[in-house]
């Protein structure tokens, strides 16, 4: 939980407030952060926060900005962060994943003329996220959008990590549930 890491680095007089749109994630975060008196969590959508203008000194997002609402979310963050404050966020992209290419090829080869309603809706959601995601799939696109809403002094640090999913089922679960991310 990013908020727990943030509160560990915050002066005792500072307050850390975590938000998430998912009640189960809020409950998990509350359990993980229970020992910190200056840490609270609220269920809320980042693209429509109920905080006053310039409320925060720092905003941190740990893979929490949806590509589908990227513009709205960063505009809202700019509204709630004070002048001279900062936004730090991380994002992840799958790069050169042979299983990803194989999965896409299998789906392409086995498409039917009349897929089930559930498969159609999942396919449409994945296609929409890939279309929208392509706009922000590189740092340049994200930086342009950040500048477009008013952020300045944008700095980028790239890190590459290898992740290991527990077998093909783990990969398929991640791929098929991607529209929920």
Q: Is the dihedral of CA 162, 167, 173, 175 positive or negative?
A: positive
**Per-residue tokens: 44:** 């809320």
pLDDT at 180: 40
* Mean pLDDT of all residues in 128-141: 67
* Mean pLDDT of all residues in 36-61: 95
Q: pTM of this prediction? A: 0.72
Q: What are the tens digits of pLDDT across the range 100-119?
A: 666 667 767 777 777 778 77
Nearest-angstrom CA–CA distance, 74 and 80: 10
Q: What residues contact 149, with CB distance under 8 A and at least 6 apart?
A: 71, 74, 75, 78
């Amino acid at each position: 939980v990013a908020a727990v890491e943030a509160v560990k680095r915050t002066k005792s007089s500072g307050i850390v407030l975590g938000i998430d749109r998912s009640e189960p994630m809020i409950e998990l975060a509350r359990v993980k952060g229970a020992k910190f008196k200056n840490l609270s969590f609220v269920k809320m959508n980042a693209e429509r926060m109920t905080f006053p203008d310039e409320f925060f000194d720092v905003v941190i997002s740990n893979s929490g900005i949806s590509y589908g609402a990227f513009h709205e979310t960063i505009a809202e963050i700019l509204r709630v962060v004070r002048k001279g404050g900062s936004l730090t966020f991380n994002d992840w992209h799958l790069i050169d994943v042979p299983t990803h290419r194989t999965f896409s090829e299998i789906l392409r080869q086995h498409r039917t003329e009349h897929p089930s309603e559930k498969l159609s809706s999942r396919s449409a959601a994945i296609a929409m996220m890939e279309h929208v995601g392509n706009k922000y799939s590189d740092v340049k696109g994200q930086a342009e959008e950040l500048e477009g809403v008013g952020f300045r002094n944008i700095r980028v640090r790239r890190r590459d990590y290898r992740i290991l999913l527990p077998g093909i089922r783990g990969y398929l679960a991640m791929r098929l549930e991607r529209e929920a991310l």
